């Protein structure tokens, strides 16, 4: 996939994606370079705007790849795919395809990014559908969750593939030999789960994964599980809900500390601790979702990411390059789905 790239590790950044474009991507790139040796970055997008954000000469280890189009944040995936062949998003992915970059990062719209990445890079053999995965903070550190919205309706087979891909990513990137994998389900007996989830459960139970069974929504944050698998509709709702609750608690807590002079005073004393806490669950530290199952590494940054958050997404790209994710997932999907046990029940 990337053997043709000479010298340094290279990551292509869609400089025009997200709510802020180069105003965030360029400073994030510079932060990343200051913190990370031996990685080159290609800034893909409107050359004038990128140069304006650089505010000076192009620094070492940075190249600009000029493009003439942008994919809008609300643009339909099919329109972006058909009509925007010189968009910053498309060209960043093309650079991965052509071997000029080892990975790309975009804060552009998820639907267009997934459709374009799938069209340009193709899925790995045996992978029916790519999935979107991210980590969320949890009591025991963090939990990986997929799919987060790429696939609204999933068969049991898709869910099994997601489980294999998620497990292998955690093994490869975090060095965990046997990540604990679970299916997201609801608690009520008998009416438990829909048909796809039940069937995936049977298949995973005889797989070579460290499958621990069903978990419920609260276990994502409280339970001892590394990878939680759900269809894209459910996974997306779970992710957005958790973001909503965290923001709601943050705002309400702030309001509470501002209510009276006494609470303001107490808040002043508690501020350093509250700030420290905020840092541990800072969503910016978790920014960067992986598009898994493709023949190349594509990282999706949150559209509203700031430079700290976007830098984190570039870091994730680098980790996946070092872990050789597409090759490893390709191998695992093949091996797991070929395993005798699995076949016997599939």
Residues that bind its own copies (CB under 8 A): 74-78, 109-111, 137-139, 149-153, 184, 186-191, 193-195, 216-222, 230, 232-234, 236-249, 251-253, 256-257, 259, 263, 265-267, 269-270, 272-274, 276-277, 280-281
The secondary structure of the chain in percent helix, strand, coil, rounded to multiples of 5, reads 50, 20, 35
Peptide bond into 168 cis (omega under 30): no
Residue closer to its own copies (CB basis): 157 or 221: 221
* Residue 129 Cβ vs its own copies, minimum distance, rounded to whole Å: 11
Residue closer to its own copies (CB basis): 43 or 292: 292
* Residue 256 Cβ vs its own copies, minimum distance, rounded to whole Å: 4
* Residue 276 Cβ vs its own copies, minimum distance, rounded to whole Å: 6
* Residue 230 Cβ vs its own copies, minimum distance, rounded to whole Å: 7
Query: Distance (Å, rounded) from C-alpha 20 to C-alpha 264?
Result: 34
Residue closer to its own copies (CB basis): 46 or 231: 231
Residue closer to its own copies (CB basis): 108 or 330: 108
Residue closer to its own copies (CB basis): 178 or 265: 265
Q: Residues 218, 203: contact at Cβ < 8 Å?
A: no
Neighbours of 125 (CB within 10 A): 9
**Alpha-carbon dihedral 323, 327, 329, 330, rounded to 10 degrees:** 180
| Phi and psi, residue 265, nearest 5° | -65, -50
Residue closer to its own copies (CB basis): 281 or 346: 281
* Residue 236 Cβ vs its own copies, minimum distance, rounded to whole Å: 4
Residue closer to its own copies (CB basis): 1 or 183: 183
* Residue 188 Cβ vs its own copies, minimum distance, rounded to whole Å: 4
**Alpha-carbon dihedral 147, 235, 173, 29, rounded to 10 degrees:** 90
Query: Distance (Å, rounded) from C-alpha 32 to C-alpha 17?
Result: 18
Q: Residues 137, 124: contact at Cβ < 8 Å?
A: no
* Residue 139 Cβ vs its own copies, minimum distance, rounded to whole Å: 6
CA distances from 139 to 197, 222, 224, 236 (A): 26, 5, 8, 21
Query: Distance (Å, rounded) from C-alpha 314 to C-alpha 105?
Result: 6
């Amino acid at each position: 996939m990337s053997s043709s790239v000479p010298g340094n590790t290279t990551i292509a950044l869609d400089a025009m994606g997200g709510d802020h474009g180069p105003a965030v991507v360029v400073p994030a790139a510079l932060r990343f370079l200051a913190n990370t040796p031996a990685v080159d970055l290609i800034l893909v997008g409107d050359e004038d705007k990128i140069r304006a954000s650089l505010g000076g000469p192009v620094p070492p280890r940075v190249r600009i790849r000029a493009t003439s189009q942008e994919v809008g944040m609300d643009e339909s995936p099919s329109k972006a795919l058909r009509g925007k062949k010189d968009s910053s998003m498309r060209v960043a992915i093309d650079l991965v395809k052509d071997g000029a970059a080892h990975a790309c990062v975009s804060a552009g719209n998820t639907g267009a990014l997934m459709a374009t990445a799938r069209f340009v890079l193709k899925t790995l053999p045996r992978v029916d559908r790519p999935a979107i995965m991210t980590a969320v903070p949890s009591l025991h550190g963090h939990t990986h969750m997929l799919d987060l919205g790429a696939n609204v309706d999933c068969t049991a087979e898709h869910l099994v593939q997601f489980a294999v891909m998620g497990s292998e990513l955690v093994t490869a990137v975090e060095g965990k030999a046997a990540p604990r994998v679970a299916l997201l389900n609801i608690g009520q007996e008998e009416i438990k789960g829909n048909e796809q989830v039940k069937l995936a459960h049977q298949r995973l139970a005889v797989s070579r994964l460290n499958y621990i069974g069903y978990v419920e929504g609260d276990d994502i944050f409280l339970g001892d599980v590394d990878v939680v698998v759900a269809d894209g509709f459910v996974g997306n709702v779970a992710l957005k809900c958790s973001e909503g609750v965290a923001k709601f608690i943050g705002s309400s807590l702030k309001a509470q500390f501002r209510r009276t002079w006494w609470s303001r005073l107490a808040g002043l004393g508690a501020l350093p601790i509250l700030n420290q806490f905020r840092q541990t669950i800072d969503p910016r530290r978790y920014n960067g979702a992986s598009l898994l199952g493709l023949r190349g590494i594509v990282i999706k940054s949150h559209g509203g990411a700031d430079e700290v958050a976007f830098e984190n997404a570039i870091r994730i790209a680098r980790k996946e390059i070092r872990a050789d994710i597409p090759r490893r997932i390709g191998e695992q999907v093949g091996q797991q789905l070929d395993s005798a046990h699995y076949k016997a029940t599939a």
